[in-house]
Amino acid sequence: MHVGMLLLLAIVVAGLFGVFGLRSSTVEKSEDGYHMEVEYAAITRAGQPSPLNIHIEHAGGFTEPVQISLCDDYFDHLDFQNWYPNPSAETGSAGSLDYEFDPPTGDVLEVSLDARTAPGQFGGKETCEVTVLEKDVPVMSVSFSTWRLP
């Protein structure tokens, strides 16, 4: 009986210190004149914000629309609100969602997704890849994983 009470107390204390709380993380990569940073929800719960911010920098700027491809399974667990800025085009294919953004002024494109983890989600881990494309050809990509706690 005492062991059970101590375990329960340990869980409560860990919760008070935010051990089970939301966490975000950032992954970044530079390749072929591009630099990409992706900020994402590393740990989330149902109904909680699930940020996804993509920062793409290209020396010399962008002369063509910027194409970004993301895994479609990741969005199965989100209550998707909107992209900022909105893409000028979007298509889906087997396993991916492809977005096209008008070329920004300057060397940097910032894209943010307003989303929450969908209600009723059970625990699990989802890995996603963000890929920058030039004329439908992959140039660089980064991967990240999000844990959904029950």
**Quick one: how far is CA 123 from the chain centroid?**
17
Express each pLDDT in 53-111 by its tens digit. 999 999 999 999 999 999 988 888 888 889 999 999 999 888 899 999 999 999 999 99
> The domain spanning residue 126 has which CATH number?
2.60.40.3670
CA angle 101, 102, 106 (to 5 degrees): 110
Collapsing DSSP to helix, strand or coil, 74 comes out as helix
Whether residue 7 lies inside any domain: the answer is no
Range of the domain at 65: 21-149
User: What's the structural domain count of the chain?
Assistant: 1
Question: 133 in a domain, yes or no?
Answer: yes
How much is the pTM?
0.85
Most confident of 10-14, 43-47, 142-146: 142-146
* 138 located within any domain: yes
| 44 membership: H or E segment, kind and range | strand 34-45
Residue 1 reports pLDDT greater than 60: no
pLDDT of amino acid 16: 65
Span 120-149, pLDDT tens digits: 777 889 899 999 999 999 999 999 999 988
